[in-house]
């Protein structure tokens, strides 16, 4: 199965970037897409679920920090409604691939300046990022108590290996993955570029990893490159 992780940078429905982003998404033949910074009215084809629209920022009413898209319908959809730091940045659901149910979790970990220079302006650098990661185990522990294959991904706002990000915050991501026996399949990608959207799995074997370009000529479609991981289920 093909799993895609990418950031659409809130590409609007009538914008010039969206048709190209959707075309590149379709070209990957993604069975599941884990998308960050989308518009709910400007999505690729498929069955989509979203995190809550409220993440303590003033934004377009269709803006969502994270979405999951599948070729098959979703059930057991969960997104926190508890306010900061998790609300609006986390969504999970169960979908099916060729008869196999899979738990999929999408998240958008706050960037280092979240609620520092914008939003609520009441935080210090990395504070919201670390608060999100600290709250994650209690929120996802019950969800991850499953024998199904698990696919977790989204905008981690880190590279692996670490470059130019807070060491303690980076370690918190790795500690979370290790605690729940998740393997990061986008670590040390075999291509150039600063990959911030990642995929981790449990109960699935990783194959190839390919890059999705974020440029069209000299024009930037989105500020993130994307990745597609080829997985093999039991």
Give pLDDT tens digits for 57-97: 878 999 999 999 999 999 999 999 989 999 999 999 999 99
Going from the N-terminus, what domains does the chain have, and what CATH number goes with each? 2-232 (3.60.10.10)
Residue with tokens 């069975």: 31
Q: Which stretches of the chain score pLDDT less than 70?
A: none
Please report the pLDDT score of residue 234 as a whole number.
Answer: 85
Query: Which pTM value belongs to this model?
Result: 0.97
Please report the pLDDT score of residue 7 as a whole number.
Answer: 98
Q: Is 101 exposed, middle or buried (0-12, 13-18, 19+ CB in 10 A)?
A: middle
CB 178 within 8 Å of CB 199 = no
């Amino acid at each position: 199965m093909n799993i895609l992780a990418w950031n659409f940078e809130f590409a609007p429905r009538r914008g010039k970037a969206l048709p190209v982003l959707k075309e590149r998404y379709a070209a990957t033949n993604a069975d599941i897409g884990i998308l960050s910074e989308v518009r709910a009215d400007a999505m690729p084809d498929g069955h989509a679920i979203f995190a809550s629209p409220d993440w303590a920022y003033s934004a377009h009413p269709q803006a969502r920090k994270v979405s999951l898209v599948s070729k098959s319908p979703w059930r057991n959809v969960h997104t926190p409604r508890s306010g900061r730091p998790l609300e609006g940045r986390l969504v999970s659901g169960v979908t099916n691939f060729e008869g196999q149910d899979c738990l999929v979790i999408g998240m958008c970990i706050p960037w280092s300046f979240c609620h520092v220079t914008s939003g609520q302006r009441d935080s210090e650098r990395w504070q919201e990022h670390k608060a999100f990661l600290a709250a994650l185990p209690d929120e996802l522990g019950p969800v991850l108590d499953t024998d199904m294959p698990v696919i977790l991904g989204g905008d981690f706002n880190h590279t692996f290996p670490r470059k130019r990000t807070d060491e303690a915050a980076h370690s918190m991501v790795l500690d979370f993955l290790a605690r729940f026996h998740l393997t990061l399949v986008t670590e040390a990608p075999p291509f150039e570029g600063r990959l911030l959207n990642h995929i981790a799995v449990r109960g699935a074997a990783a194959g190839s990893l390919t890059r999705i370009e974020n440029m069209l000529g000299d024009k930037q479609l989105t500020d993130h490159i994307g990745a597609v991981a080829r997985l093999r289920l039991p």
